[in-house]
Amino acid sequence: MFTPPFEIASLHIALLDRAATATELLDQVLVRIAEWNDPAIWISRSSESSIRDRARQLDAVALADPDLIKRMPLFAIPFAVKDNIDVAGMPTTAACPAFAYTPAQSAPVVERLLAAGAVLIGKTNLDQFATGLVGTRSPYGIPKNPFDPRFIPGGSSSGSAVSVAAGLVAFALGTDTAGSGRIPAACNNIVGLKPSRGLLSTRGVVPACRSLDCVSIFALTAQDATTVLDVTAAFDPDDPLSRRPPAAAAASFGSSFRFGVPPAKELEFFGDDEAEALFGAAVAMFETIGGSRLEIDFAPFRDAGRMLYDGPTVAERLNATQHLLTENPEALLPVTRTIIERGRSFSALDAFRAQYQLSALLRATEEVMATIDCLLLPTAGTIYEITAVMADPVRLNTNLGLYTNFTNLLDLSAVALPAGFRKSGLPFGISLLAPAFAECALLDLAGRAQQRFSLPVGATQL
């Protein structure tokens, strides 16, 4: 009936052509989840009866209205939601049981997906309070990396990424403050879109750093991520951080484009020679599809990234957790508590000084971005075994954020995409970055790159 992978485009065609029904598709999803047998992917699941009821309802309305599937771009498409995003009637935990609450209303991004016909399968595991890039900081367990369970799944949106890579859902929502929508994409051979701040409403999202948080999208292909973006991107007048994109936002960089890369001396792969070679091959490939390479100064980007955890910005993470830290500090995992509690050590003066420093770095990076259409970077310099991360959780997590931490501080948009495999079979990923509201152009370029790379998507061919 449906053979892997679960790409939105192919599923929609099958449903549109009546080659299969919503009921048949969702029945297969439930079978796949049972066969995959990794409960750490999920924190809560929609009941099987509710999923089947939703499928029957969709089939009934499609039968009565033959054009419905055309009008609903996500008709019967299965998806998952990171468990720091509200879904009405389902607990929101942020991977902290003591924090859990059950909202009466879904986040607007979820409501828009459901209105477009998508079917919610469940809420996924994450690094507690979205604090981490490793996927190992949860009391609900560690989702298995489909390529090698000894290695991290990436975080903080670990369950969302694994559910897509494993072919259990066609797409998933995550969040991204420091790289949580991109590092898991690299670890799982999928696409991770980090939209511009405010493009997707963050109302109904448990904040990590509210001024920086973005809802992210995981999909198997850039085309699928574009489909989901088209549904979810909308100005939310009830979200004070929501922004409207400019009318002149470009849909493409064109057949010829300029991409920036750091000089070799400014790149760090933490001893992962295969990752370094794969990045070099990716750079060469982008030159074959019309790109002109320009070496750029990476220092201001790197310096901005360090400010996320090494300065007063970390104090913003207290916004959602301060009461819990005061009343029940043991409810947080030790590593999560240690990171967030550092926010108490900064003053208002520290925050203003950091603003001045960030403004100077922003000006420097704007000058760099004015010379190119996009940046091309490794998504992560390497990937770590779980045991290594457990032994050295903060330093290795920091290493993973080298190419991601600065993105929201500098108001950039980004797309992570697969770029090859190590000899061990572990995936490697790259990221494309551009100024705010360049998502469509980045996804267009990512789609062209995916065609040229011609790699299997996710872990669906294992």
Q: Is the pLDDT of residue 2 over 90?
A: no
3-class state of residue 120 by DSSP: strand
Please provide residue 413's backbone torsions phi and psi, each rounded to the nearest 5 degrees.
-105, 155
Predicted local confidence at residue 461, as pLDDT: 75
Helix (H) or strand (E) holding 365: helix 348-369
Give the helix ranges, DSSP H, for 65-210: 68-71, 108-115, 158-165, 183-188
Rounded to an integer, the average pLDDT of 221-242 is 98
pLDDT in tens, 322-342: 999 999 999 999 999 999 999
pTM of the model: 0.97
Predicted local confidence at residue 462, as pLDDT: 66
3-class state of residue 319 by DSSP: helix
Q: Which residues are catalytic?
A: 82, 156, 180
Structural domain boundaries of the chain?
A: 1-462
Show the tokens assigned to 373.
């259409």
Predicted local confidence at residue 29, as pLDDT: 97
CA distance 87 to 196: 23
Predicted local confidence at residue 249, as pLDDT: 81
The dihedral through the CA atoms of 340, 345, 350, 354 has a sign that is negative
Exposure string for 219-256, b = 16+ CB within 10 A, e = fewer: bbbbbbbbbbbebbbeebeebebbeebeeebeeebeee
Predicted local confidence at residue 253, as pLDDT: 95
* 194 residue type, one letter: K
Per DSSP, 56 falls in state H
Predicted local confidence at residue 4, as pLDDT: 66
Helix (H) or strand (E) holding 78: strand 78-82
Average pLDDT of the residues of the chain:
96
Predicted local confidence at residue 337, as pLDDT: 95
CATH entry, 1-462, from 3.40.190.10, 3.20.20.70, 2.40.30.10, 3.90.1300.10: 3.90.1300.10
pLDDT in tens, 102-134: 999 999 999 999 999 999 999 999 999 999 999
Please provide residue 85's backbone torsions phi and psi, each rounded to the nearest 5 degrees.
-120, 130
pLDDT in tens, 245-265: 998 888 899 999 999 999 999
